[in-house]
Amino acid sequence: MSSPISNLRKFVSPEIIFGAGARKTVGNFARTFGANRVLIVSDPGVKAAGWVDDVEASLRELDIDYRLFTDVSPNPRSEEVMRGAERYLSENCNVIVAIGGGSPMDCAKGIGIVSANRGHILSFEGVDQIHHPIPPLIFIPTTAGTSADVSQFAIISDQQSRNKISIISKAVVPDVSLIDPETTVTMDPFLTACTGVDALVHAVEAFVSTASGPLTDMHALEAIKLVSDNLPALVADPNNLVLREQVMLGSMKAGLAFSNAILGAVHAMSHSLGGYLDLPHGLCNSILLEHVIDFNYNSAEDKFKVVADTLGIDTRGMQSPRIRRELIQRVSTLKADVGLTQRLKEAGVSTSDIPMLSHKAIKDPCILTNPRKSNKRDVEVVYEEAL
């Protein structure tokens, strides 16, 4: 009897509605889930931009009651999740709608976890620690990068320890994702660049992850191409809806890839860094990306060659050391083209912070699928190179 040609793989995904105007269908989906009262989770910036108004209008049109919770920071905090869960329960809500970037969506996931499982959100850190089904989640992303609207990740900040925790479970995969490129037009060029590079990192890390496979690779590679081909032009022309749609599609595909293949050392180190200094997640990823590629390269040479090809590097006839140099240079150039040239020192990191940052990073679940096995000293060296 012949041996199986590949390992078993699972692939989880929400129902996805993609395209201009998708946000305005939220009321129909809430009604489908039997919504009596919806908790809308967002943040002050998204509300000021007017996107929450569209959600409220769609719910009112179908006479669906709702409550609004916008007490969410740029890196959602555990205490905000707990307040949101208290609001959800006290108002007798039974469906959650989140509209915003990764912060409102991750906070909404946390609210769902706590409301159904009745523990503190920090107690659910790790993989598959959620034991009771959470309420229906309908998500509308307003940034093109975090992909929280399609992923089985929730990232929550613990202000006491100045750390970010990762919650990984198919229980937090949203039921419906309404991906509407029109909602990203209110992002400024810096946020567009940060979230776009975040999507690129998702795709690269998913492709070289030890948990990758055919179901994730196809999404990862297309995401790399969509983001790298369109992000610099979008940062230069932020009102271009065609470019926004392409980058949004790349973000979605990157999310489907990393949600199922998981990530690697960039994200493990970025979570530690972002939790400590409360920095934008995409900026943290940008600072670390080429340094982690350099560290990982020899452990996934064939895969990184495909990444280089996908980024438009003609690798024919090139030896591996040159491909490595060209790939790192291509990533650095792409970052510079979108205005992300910061190093760790400029972000506020000092040499004395590195042992603590490395200690936290090595405990992050994302490190488990990094293609090169890493110890604390390995991580310290990468941080040092990024200074």
CATH assignment at residue 253: 1.20.1090.10
Examine residue 97 and state whether it is found in any structural domain, yes or no: yes
pLDDT at 7 over 80: no
Average pLDDT of the residues in 52-78: 97
Asked if the model's pLDDT at residue 3 lies above 50, the reply is: no
Same domain? For 175 and 207 the reply is no
Of 161, 184, 207, which residue sits at a domain end?
Answer: 184
Backbone angles phi, psi at 96, to 5 degrees: -115, 130
Mean pLDDT of the region 269-298: 94
CATH code for the domain of 48:
3.40.50.1970
One domain, residues 142 and 242: no
Residue 351 falls inside a structural domain = yes
| Angle, CA of 371, 376 and 378, to the nearest 5° | 55
Tell whether 8 is covered by a domain. no
Give the model's confidence band at 128: pLDDT under 50 very low, under 70 low, under 90 confident, else very high: very high
Kindly state whether residues 169 and 234 are assigned to the same domain.
Answer: no
Task: Indicate if 203 and 141 belong to the same structural domain.
Answer: no
pLDDT at 336 over 50: yes
Give the residue-averaged pLDDT of 270-279: 91
198 and 265 assigned to the same domain = yes
What residue numbers bound the domain in which 199 lies? 187-386
Q: Kindly state whether residues 163 and 35 are assigned to the same domain.
A: yes
d(CA 256, CA 209): 14
| Mean pLDDT computed over 296-317 | 98
- Percent of the chain past pLDDT 90, that is, above it, reads 94
Q: Report the pLDDT averaged over residues 91-106.
A: 97
Residue 119 has pLDDT above 80, yes or no: yes
Residue where a domain stops, chosen among 158, 184, 210: 184
Q: For residue 363, give Cα distances in angstroms to 110, 196, 272, 378.
A: 21, 26, 9, 13
Q: Residue 111 CA to chain centroid, in angstroms?
A: 18
- The predicted pLDDT at position 233 comes to 98
Residues 197 and 325 in one domain: yes
Residue 9 lies in a domain: no
Average pLDDT over residues 303-330: 98
- Residue 156 in any domain: the answer is yes
Task: Judge contact between 98 and 142, C-beta under 8 A.
Answer: no
Q: Work out the average pLDDT over 91-105.
A: 97
Q: What is the SS3 assignment for 145?
A: coil
What per-residue confidence (pLDDT) applies to 1?
Answer: 44
Q: Taking residues 45-69, report their average pLDDT.
A: 97
> Is 72:103 a contact under the CB 8 Å cutoff?
yes
pLDDT in tens, 135-183: 999 999 999 999 999 999 999 999 998 889 999 999 999 999 999 999 9
Does the pLDDT at position 37 exceed 90? Answer: yes
pLDDT at 5 over 60: no
Residues 330 and 249 in one domain: yes
Q: Which of 340, 344, 305 is nearest to 325 (CA)?
A: 305
Average pLDDT over residues 344-369: 95
Give yes or no: residues 41 and 179 share one domain.
yes
Amino acid in position 149: D
Number of domains in the chain: 2
Residue 322: is its pLDDT beyond 80?
yes
User: What mean pLDDT, rounded, does the chain reach?
Assistant: 95
Assess whether 176 and 208 both reside in one domain.
no
Tokens 């990191």 found at:
349
Of the candidates 166, 184, 202, which is a domain's last residue? 184
Mean pLDDT of all residues in 351-372: 96
The answer to whether residue 87 is domain-embedded is yes
Under the banding of pLDDT at 50, 70 and 90, the label for residue 296 is very high
Q: Exposed, middle or buried by CB within 10 Å (0-12, 13-18, 19+), for 73?
A: middle
- Would 5 be classed as within a structural domain? no
- The pLDDT of residue 298 is above 50: yes
Task: Say whether both 53 and 152 belong to one domain.
Answer: yes
**In this structure, what token pair is assigned to residue 274?**
């972002």
Q: Which residue has the tokens 């590949």?
A: 6
Say whether both 275 and 134 belong to one domain. no
With 60 as the cut, is the pLDDT of residue 2 above it? no
